[in-house]
Amino acid sequence: MTLYGKDNAVSLISSMIGRDRLPHAFLLFGERGVGKKTLARYIAKTVLCQCGGKVPCQSCISCRKIDKGIHPDFICITPGGKNGNYLSEELRSIVSDAAVAPNESRKKIYFLPGIDKALPEAQNTLLKVVEEPPEHVMFLMTAESKDRILPTVLSRTISLGITEPSPEDCIKALAEAGHVGKTADRAVSVFGGNIGKCLEYIENGGELEYIETVGKIVDGMLRRDEFAILSALNSLDGKSSRSKIGDALSELKNVLRDVSAKKLGGTLCSANRKGAEALADNLRQSSAAKIYDAVTEAERKINGNGSVPLVMSDLAGKIALNL
Protein backbone atom coordinates (compact mmCIF):
# COMPACT_ATOMS: atom_id res chain seq x y z
CA MET A 1 0.00 0.00 0.00
CA THR A 2 1.55 3.26 -1.17
CA LEU A 3 0.34 6.46 0.44
CA TYR A 4 0.91 9.59 -1.61
CA GLY A 5 0.96 12.99 0.05
CA LYS A 6 0.12 11.58 3.48
CA ASP A 7 3.52 11.85 5.19
CA ASN A 8 2.31 14.20 7.94
CA ALA A 9 -0.71 12.03 8.80
CA VAL A 10 1.37 8.83 8.78
CA SER A 11 4.01 10.45 11.01
CA LEU A 12 1.33 11.60 13.47
CA ILE A 13 -0.29 8.17 13.64
CA SER A 14 3.07 6.44 14.13
CA SER A 15 3.88 8.87 16.93
CA MET A 16 0.53 8.22 18.63
CA ILE A 17 1.11 4.46 18.50
CA GLY A 18 4.67 4.84 19.79
CA ARG A 19 3.42 6.84 22.78
CA ASP A 20 0.40 4.55 23.29
CA ARG A 21 -1.88 7.55 22.77
CA LEU A 22 -3.96 6.30 19.88
CA PRO A 23 -7.48 7.82 20.07
CA HIS A 24 -10.61 5.69 19.92
CA ALA A 25 -12.06 7.65 16.96
CA PHE A 26 -10.61 9.34 13.88
CA LEU A 27 -12.45 11.56 11.42
CA LEU A 28 -10.59 11.92 8.12
CA PHE A 29 -12.04 14.79 6.11
CA GLY A 30 -11.30 16.25 2.71
CA GLU A 31 -12.46 16.43 -0.88
CA ARG A 32 -13.67 13.27 -2.58
CA GLY A 33 -10.82 11.36 -4.19
CA VAL A 34 -7.94 12.61 -2.02
CA GLY A 35 -7.31 9.23 -0.37
CA LYS A 36 -9.33 9.24 2.86
CA LYS A 37 -10.38 5.60 2.52
CA THR A 38 -6.84 4.52 1.64
CA LEU A 39 -5.50 6.24 4.74
CA ALA A 40 -8.25 4.69 6.88
CA ARG A 41 -7.22 1.22 5.73
CA TYR A 42 -3.59 2.06 6.45
CA ILE A 43 -4.54 3.05 10.00
CA ALA A 44 -6.53 -0.17 10.39
CA LYS A 45 -3.58 -2.21 9.15
CA THR A 46 -1.25 -0.48 11.58
CA VAL A 47 -3.55 -1.06 14.55
CA LEU A 48 -4.36 -4.68 13.71
CA CYS A 49 -0.95 -5.72 12.33
CA GLN A 50 0.33 -8.85 14.07
CA CYS A 51 3.87 -7.44 14.15
CA GLY A 52 2.79 -4.67 16.52
CA GLY A 53 4.99 -1.92 15.06
CA LYS A 54 4.41 1.75 14.32
CA VAL A 55 3.74 0.93 10.67
CA PRO A 56 2.00 -2.09 9.13
CA CYS A 57 4.24 -4.91 7.96
CA GLN A 58 1.97 -5.41 4.90
CA SER A 59 2.65 -9.15 4.88
CA CYS A 60 1.15 -10.73 8.03
CA ILE A 61 -2.19 -12.50 7.77
CA SER A 62 -3.97 -9.53 9.37
CA CYS A 63 -2.62 -7.04 6.81
CA ARG A 64 -3.44 -9.42 3.98
CA LYS A 65 -6.99 -9.96 5.22
CA ILE A 66 -7.60 -6.21 5.30
CA ASP A 67 -6.32 -5.98 1.72
CA LYS A 68 -8.80 -8.67 0.71
CA GLY A 69 -11.65 -7.14 2.73
CA ILE A 70 -12.15 -10.23 4.89
CA HIS A 71 -10.71 -9.25 8.30
CA PRO A 72 -13.44 -9.98 10.88
CA ASP A 73 -12.29 -7.14 13.14
CA PHE A 74 -12.22 -4.47 10.44
CA ILE A 75 -15.93 -3.90 9.96
CA CYS A 76 -16.85 -1.72 6.98
CA ILE A 77 -20.34 -0.25 7.20
CA THR A 78 -22.07 0.39 3.87
CA PRO A 79 -24.83 3.03 3.86
CA GLY A 80 -28.18 1.48 3.05
CA GLY A 81 -30.21 4.62 2.36
CA LYS A 82 -31.47 5.16 -1.18
CA ASN A 83 -29.51 8.41 -1.36
CA GLY A 84 -26.30 6.90 -0.02
CA ASN A 85 -27.01 8.02 3.53
CA TYR A 86 -26.80 5.91 6.67
CA LEU A 87 -29.99 4.61 8.25
CA SER A 88 -30.48 4.90 12.01
CA GLU A 89 -30.94 1.13 12.36
CA GLU A 90 -27.61 0.49 10.60
CA LEU A 91 -25.74 2.64 13.08
CA ARG A 92 -27.81 1.38 16.01
CA SER A 93 -26.60 -2.16 15.28
CA ILE A 94 -23.04 -0.95 15.93
CA VAL A 95 -24.01 0.08 19.44
CA SER A 96 -25.08 -3.45 20.36
CA ASP A 97 -22.26 -5.16 18.45
CA ALA A 98 -19.56 -3.00 20.04
CA ALA A 99 -19.88 -4.89 23.33
CA VAL A 100 -18.80 -8.14 21.61
CA ALA A 101 -15.07 -8.88 21.90
CA PRO A 102 -12.86 -8.90 18.77
CA ASN A 103 -12.53 -12.16 16.86
CA GLU A 104 -8.78 -12.24 16.16
CA SER A 105 -7.18 -9.00 17.32
CA ARG A 106 -6.96 -6.84 20.41
CA LYS A 107 -9.08 -4.19 18.67
CA LYS A 108 -12.31 -4.13 16.70
CA ILE A 109 -12.44 -1.29 14.16
CA TYR A 110 -15.64 0.11 12.67
CA PHE A 111 -15.09 1.91 9.36
CA LEU A 112 -17.81 4.39 8.37
CA PRO A 113 -17.01 6.15 5.08
CA GLY A 114 -19.06 9.25 4.32
CA ILE A 115 -20.41 9.70 7.84
CA ASP A 116 -21.35 13.26 6.88
CA LYS A 117 -24.14 11.75 4.80
CA ALA A 118 -25.82 10.44 7.93
CA LEU A 119 -28.76 12.58 9.03
CA PRO A 120 -28.59 14.09 12.54
CA GLU A 121 -30.92 11.48 14.07
CA ALA A 122 -28.75 8.69 12.65
CA GLN A 123 -25.56 10.33 13.96
CA ASN A 124 -27.18 10.67 17.37
CA THR A 125 -27.54 6.90 17.63
CA LEU A 126 -23.73 6.64 17.59
CA LEU A 127 -23.13 9.35 20.16
CA LYS A 128 -22.95 7.25 23.32
CA VAL A 129 -20.72 4.51 21.91
CA VAL A 130 -18.39 7.08 20.32
CA GLU A 131 -18.28 8.99 23.60
CA GLU A 132 -17.63 5.96 25.83
CA PRO A 133 -16.64 3.00 23.66
CA PRO A 134 -15.45 -0.32 25.08
CA GLU A 135 -11.67 -0.51 25.42
CA HIS A 136 -11.40 -2.82 22.41
CA VAL A 137 -13.39 -0.59 19.99
CA MET A 138 -12.08 2.01 17.54
CA PHE A 139 -13.87 4.11 14.93
CA LEU A 140 -12.53 5.31 11.58
CA MET A 141 -14.82 7.74 9.79
CA THR A 142 -14.48 9.81 6.63
CA ALA A 143 -16.29 12.94 5.49
CA GLU A 144 -16.00 15.48 2.73
CA SER A 145 -16.98 18.22 5.14
CA LYS A 146 -16.94 18.55 8.92
CA ASP A 147 -19.83 21.01 8.65
CA ARG A 148 -22.35 18.18 8.37
CA ILE A 149 -21.10 16.34 11.46
CA LEU A 150 -22.90 16.96 14.73
CA PRO A 151 -20.70 19.00 17.10
CA THR A 152 -21.33 16.41 19.81
CA VAL A 153 -19.91 13.66 17.57
CA LEU A 154 -17.12 15.84 16.20
CA SER A 155 -15.88 16.76 19.67
CA ARG A 156 -15.30 13.08 20.47
CA THR A 157 -13.03 12.37 17.51
CA ILE A 158 -9.56 13.37 16.37
CA SER A 159 -10.06 15.17 13.06
CA LEU A 160 -7.39 15.00 10.35
CA GLY A 161 -7.71 17.16 7.25
CA ILE A 162 -6.57 15.22 4.18
CA THR A 163 -5.26 17.19 1.22
CA GLU A 164 -4.59 15.95 -2.27
CA PRO A 165 -1.11 14.75 -3.26
CA SER A 166 1.10 16.74 -5.60
CA PRO A 167 0.56 16.35 -9.36
CA GLU A 168 3.90 14.51 -9.50
CA ASP A 169 2.75 11.95 -6.92
CA CYS A 170 -0.55 11.61 -8.73
CA ILE A 171 1.30 10.75 -11.96
CA LYS A 172 3.15 8.01 -10.04
CA ALA A 173 -0.11 6.64 -8.61
CA LEU A 174 -1.75 6.60 -12.04
CA ALA A 175 1.28 4.77 -13.45
CA GLU A 176 0.88 2.12 -10.75
CA ALA A 177 -2.71 1.69 -11.93
CA GLY A 178 -1.50 1.28 -15.53
CA HIS A 179 -2.32 4.77 -16.81
CA VAL A 180 0.61 6.63 -18.39
CA GLY A 181 1.34 9.16 -21.11
CA LYS A 182 -1.18 11.63 -22.47
CA THR A 183 -4.10 9.97 -20.72
CA ALA A 184 -2.59 10.48 -17.30
CA ASP A 185 -1.27 13.95 -18.16
CA ARG A 186 -4.73 15.07 -19.29
CA ALA A 187 -6.36 13.79 -16.11
CA VAL A 188 -3.83 15.59 -13.92
CA SER A 189 -4.27 18.80 -15.93
CA VAL A 190 -7.98 18.67 -15.07
CA PHE A 191 -7.87 17.45 -11.46
CA GLY A 192 -4.37 18.21 -10.23
CA GLY A 193 -3.22 15.71 -7.61
CA ASN A 194 -6.64 14.24 -6.81
CA ILE A 195 -5.89 10.59 -7.55
CA GLY A 196 -9.45 9.34 -7.10
CA LYS A 197 -10.96 11.88 -9.48
CA CYS A 198 -8.18 11.32 -12.02
CA LEU A 199 -8.88 7.59 -12.03
CA GLU A 200 -12.62 8.19 -12.35
CA TYR A 201 -12.00 10.61 -15.22
CA ILE A 202 -9.81 8.11 -17.08
CA GLU A 203 -12.22 5.23 -16.50
CA ASN A 204 -15.05 7.35 -17.91
CA GLY A 205 -13.17 7.93 -21.14
CA GLY A 206 -12.13 11.48 -20.29
CA GLU A 207 -15.65 12.76 -19.73
CA LEU A 208 -17.51 13.55 -16.54
CA GLU A 209 -20.97 15.08 -16.91
CA TYR A 210 -20.86 17.16 -13.76
CA ILE A 211 -17.75 19.04 -14.95
CA GLU A 212 -19.59 20.10 -18.11
CA THR A 213 -22.61 21.10 -16.04
CA VAL A 214 -20.53 23.30 -13.76
CA GLY A 215 -18.94 24.86 -16.84
CA LYS A 216 -22.43 25.85 -18.01
CA ILE A 217 -23.25 27.30 -14.58
CA VAL A 218 -20.06 29.35 -14.63
CA ASP A 219 -20.81 30.55 -18.16
CA GLY A 220 -24.26 31.65 -16.99
CA MET A 221 -22.69 33.48 -14.08
CA LEU A 222 -20.30 35.31 -16.39
CA ARG A 223 -23.23 36.42 -18.56
CA ARG A 224 -25.35 37.18 -15.47
CA ASP A 225 -28.03 34.99 -17.02
CA GLU A 226 -30.23 33.55 -14.27
CA PHE A 227 -32.18 31.40 -16.75
CA ALA A 228 -28.97 29.78 -18.02
CA ILE A 229 -27.84 29.13 -14.44
CA LEU A 230 -31.23 27.60 -13.56
CA SER A 231 -31.27 25.48 -16.73
CA ALA A 232 -27.83 24.07 -15.93
CA LEU A 233 -28.79 23.33 -12.33
CA ASN A 234 -32.08 21.76 -13.40
CA SER A 235 -30.20 19.45 -15.75
CA LEU A 236 -28.99 17.70 -12.60
CA ASP A 237 -32.54 16.74 -11.63
CA GLY A 238 -34.08 13.44 -12.63
CA LYS A 239 -31.23 11.85 -14.56
CA SER A 240 -28.68 12.40 -11.80
CA SER A 241 -28.38 10.65 -8.46
CA ARG A 242 -27.98 12.79 -5.37
CA SER A 243 -24.37 11.64 -5.30
CA LYS A 244 -23.79 13.10 -8.79
CA ILE A 245 -25.59 16.29 -7.79
CA GLY A 246 -23.26 16.46 -4.81
CA ASP A 247 -20.27 16.10 -7.16
CA ALA A 248 -21.49 19.05 -9.23
CA LEU A 249 -22.09 21.26 -6.19
CA SER A 250 -18.70 20.30 -4.77
CA GLU A 251 -17.00 21.25 -8.05
CA LEU A 252 -18.90 24.56 -8.09
CA LYS A 253 -17.50 25.27 -4.63
CA ASN A 254 -14.03 24.45 -5.96
CA VAL A 255 -14.53 27.05 -8.68
CA LEU A 256 -15.58 29.64 -6.11
CA ARG A 257 -12.53 28.79 -3.99
CA ASP A 258 -10.42 29.31 -7.10
CA VAL A 259 -11.95 32.76 -7.51
CA SER A 260 -10.56 33.72 -4.09
CA ALA A 261 -7.25 31.97 -4.84
CA LYS A 262 -6.88 33.93 -8.09
CA LYS A 263 -7.51 37.22 -6.30
CA LEU A 264 -4.99 36.36 -3.59
CA GLY A 265 -2.33 34.92 -5.87
CA GLY A 266 -2.91 31.31 -4.81
CA THR A 267 -2.99 28.05 -6.77
CA LEU A 268 -6.13 27.12 -8.69
CA CYS A 269 -7.33 23.53 -8.32
CA SER A 270 -10.79 23.16 -9.86
CA ALA A 271 -11.50 21.38 -13.12
CA ASN A 272 -12.90 24.68 -14.46
CA ARG A 273 -9.85 26.86 -13.87
CA LYS A 274 -10.39 29.08 -16.91
CA GLY A 275 -13.94 29.81 -15.82
CA ALA A 276 -12.72 30.58 -12.31
CA GLU A 277 -10.13 33.00 -13.66
CA ALA A 278 -12.81 34.80 -15.68
CA LEU A 279 -15.11 34.96 -12.67
CA ALA A 280 -12.32 36.38 -10.54
CA ASP A 281 -12.14 39.33 -12.94
CA ASN A 282 -15.89 39.90 -12.81
CA LEU A 283 -16.94 38.98 -9.26
CA ARG A 284 -16.24 40.64 -5.93
CA GLN A 285 -14.72 38.38 -3.31
CA SER A 286 -17.60 39.11 -0.93
CA SER A 287 -20.05 38.01 -3.62
CA ALA A 288 -18.09 34.82 -4.27
CA ALA A 289 -18.20 34.08 -0.52
CA LYS A 290 -21.99 34.55 -0.40
CA ILE A 291 -22.48 32.27 -3.40
CA TYR A 292 -20.18 29.70 -1.80
CA ASP A 293 -22.34 29.76 1.34
CA ALA A 294 -25.47 29.34 -0.80
CA VAL A 295 -23.98 26.27 -2.53
CA THR A 296 -23.01 24.81 0.87
CA GLU A 297 -26.58 25.29 2.08
CA ALA A 298 -27.89 23.60 -1.08
CA GLU A 299 -25.58 20.64 -0.40
CA ARG A 300 -26.99 20.37 3.12
CA LYS A 301 -30.56 20.35 1.84
CA ILE A 302 -29.80 17.75 -0.85
CA ASN A 303 -28.15 15.49 1.72
CA GLY A 304 -31.18 16.02 3.95
CA ASN A 305 -33.51 14.68 1.22
CA GLY A 306 -34.74 18.12 0.19
CA SER A 307 -36.66 18.50 -3.07
CA VAL A 308 -34.04 18.75 -5.82
CA PRO A 309 -36.06 21.10 -8.11
CA LEU A 310 -36.85 23.46 -5.22
CA VAL A 311 -33.26 23.47 -3.95
CA MET A 312 -31.87 24.12 -7.45
CA SER A 313 -34.38 26.92 -8.09
CA ASP A 314 -33.52 28.57 -4.78
CA LEU A 315 -29.80 28.25 -5.47
CA ALA A 316 -30.12 29.78 -8.95
CA GLY A 317 -31.91 32.79 -7.45
CA LYS A 318 -29.25 33.28 -4.77
CA ILE A 319 -26.43 33.01 -7.30
CA ALA A 320 -28.06 35.58 -9.59
CA LEU A 321 -28.72 37.90 -6.64
CA ASN A 322 -25.01 38.05 -5.82
CA LEU A 323 -23.60 38.53 -9.30
- 201-232, pLDDT tens digit by residue? 888 876 678 888 999 999 999 999 999 999 99
Q: Is 32 in the same domain as 146?
A: yes
Count of domains forming the chain: 2
Sheet holding 137-143, edge to edge: 74-76, 108-112, 137-143, 25-29, 158-161
Q: Domain holding 17: CATH number?
A: 3.40.50.300
Q: What is the pLDDT of residue 266?
A: 83
Q: Is 142 in the same domain as 220?
A: no
Query: What confidence tens digit (pLDDT) does each residue in 236-263 have?
Result: 765 557 777 888 898 899 899 999 999 8
Domain containing residue 228: 208-321
pTM for the model stands at 0.79
| Mean pLDDT across 20-45 | 92
The answer to whether residue 187 is domain-embedded is no
Give the percent of the chain with pLDDT over 70: 97
Q: Is 32 in the same domain as 116?
A: yes
Which helix (H) or strand (E) element contains residue 308?
helix 308-321
Q: Is 137 in the same domain as 235?
A: no
Q: What is the pLDDT of residue 163?
A: 87
pLDDT at 33 over 60: yes
The answer to whether residue 179 is domain-embedded is no
**Please, how many CA atoms are within 13 Å of residue 314, restricted to the half-sphere of its CB?**
15
The answer to whether residue 220 is domain-embedded is yes
Q: Is 153 in the same domain as 219?
A: no
pLDDT at 100 over 90: yes
Q: What is the pLDDT of residue 67?
A: 93
Distances (CA, A) of 214 to 90, 226, 251: 34, 14, 7
Distances (CA, A) of 306 to 45, 102, 119, 314: 38, 39, 12, 12
Q: Domain holding 263: CATH number?
A: 1.20.272
